[in-house]
Amino acid sequence: MARSKKSVPAAFPPVPKRCVVTGGMGFVGRRLVEMLVERGAERVVAFDVAPRPSDAEDDDRIVWFQGDLTKPDDVDRAFEGAECVWHIAALVGPYHKRELYDAVNRVGTLNVIAACKKHGITKCVMSSSPSTRFDGNDINGKRESELDFPKVFLQEYAESKAKGEQAMMDACDGKTFFSVAVAPHQVYGPRDMLFMHNFLINAKRLRIFGNGENLISVCYVDNYCHGLILGERALYPNSPALKKFYICTDGEPVKLWDFLDRAFVELGYPSLKNKFKLPGWTFMMPLAYACDAVGYLCGKKFKLTPFSVRMLLINRWFNIEAAKNDLGYEPIYTPDEAWAKTRDWFEKVWKPKYG
């Protein structure tokens, strides 16, 4: 689908010629690698523990570098000669051991910082997550400055990610090293095998939790990558963005269950609204705690957790004026354009059977 003249600027600001993207084979990282090349980068190192994607086209401007973020030598070799690093790599999801989250998300970030300083790389844009600020309560239009790290984190992932972000911001001295943290909320798009994928593979048994009225912010992957690229432009002495945390979204919030229902219907699945709803706080939450207890006794982790249920019930939407003011961020795709591109990919490339 062609970009509309209304939603896409005629020209984008220049990008560094030599870049590194950690997590460069992942959903966001891979698209960021592509967009950096599209905007003029001459060499982009896509660093990831995973191998080169099998469907990646040959492009001599992209270096697919398989390495381990927890191994300083791998990070060191990948970063040599770069002008800016986008640190996207992270261990995500609720099913890993605490020590592994720490090794990747905190220690891995320390390795990124050390390699940047060793090679004289003065700029690093860190991909963060709003989950680092979640305390379990509704978020209704809060600004980033109103979101603090909670006293008790809801996830081990969020805690390790917050520690990595704090280390990155502490490393910023405003003279020889500049950093900023930029996060999306509920990122989606072509090749999304996290958010939309998880709902689609459970299409037959999925039901609306609660009354279905909870609002969330969402962010199309190209819009988020645009925000990450703008983050680099904001790294200079006395910039208002230094050491700051920003959130990028598509703009106005949406009802989570309306967003998902549109996806289901347009991909040919039955509407969620035609199925009975599951009581959220009185049924699904107690069930999630029961699963936690059984999992603890059996040494297993179930997908139904109190955290996952809570995220399907509460409001989670944000005021992004700070990103607009300090980074110059505006979405480059409208919600309708973004969904059309997402739907087309799922329809043509990956669509599970209903059943």
- Confidence label for 87 from pLDDT (cuts 50, 70 and 90): very high
pLDDT tens readout for residues 191-230: 999 999 999 999 999 999 999 999 999 999 999 999 999 9
In-domain check, residue 292: no
Cβ of 37: how many Cβ atoms within 10 Å? 17
**By residue range, what is the domain housing residue 79?**
18-189+218-255+319-334
In a domain, 203, yes or no: no
- Give the tens place of pLDDT for each residue, 249-290: 999 999 999 999 999 999 999 999 999 999 999 999 999 999
Domain of residue 57, CATH code: 3.40.50.720
Give the number of C-alpha atoms closer than 13 A to the C-alpha of residue 1, restricted to the C-beta side.
18
140 SS3 class:
strand
Write out pLDDT tens, residues 140-169.
999 999 999 999 999 999 999 999 999 999
Q: pLDDT tier at 11 (50, 70, 90 boundaries)?
A: confident
Report yes or no on 236 lying in a domain. Answer: yes
pLDDT cut 70: percent of the chain above it: 97
pTM (2 decimals)?
Answer: 0.95
Question: pLDDT above 90 covers what percent of the chain?
Answer: 92
Count of domains for the chain: 1
- Residue 34 falls inside a structural domain: yes
Instruction: For residue 132, give the DSSP letter.
Output: G
Check if the beta carbon of residue 253 is closer than 8 Å to that of residue 217.
Answer: yes
Residue 259: both structure tokens together: 């967003």
Report the candidate in 262, 279, 280 with the shortest Cα–Cα distance to residue 271: 262
Q: Among 94-98, 137-141, 185-189, 213-217, whose mean pLDDT is lowest?
A: 94-98
Tokens of 196: 């939309």
Q: For the residues 101-107, what does the mean pLDDT come to?
A: 98
User: For the range 140-146, what are the long-range contacts, defined as Cβ-Cβ under 8 Å and sequence gap of 24 or more?
Assistant: 140/215, 140/315, 140/317, 141/253, 141/317, 141/318, 141/319, 142/318, 142/319, 143/318, 143/319, 143/321, 143/322, 144/244, 144/245, 144/246, 144/247, 144/318, 144/322, 144/323, 145/322
Q: How far is Cα 320 from Cα 317, in angstroms, rounded to an integer?
A: 10
> What is the pLDDT, as a whole number, of residue 18?
98
Cβ atoms of 185 and 319 within 8 Å: the answer is no
Domain assignment present for residue 9? The answer is no
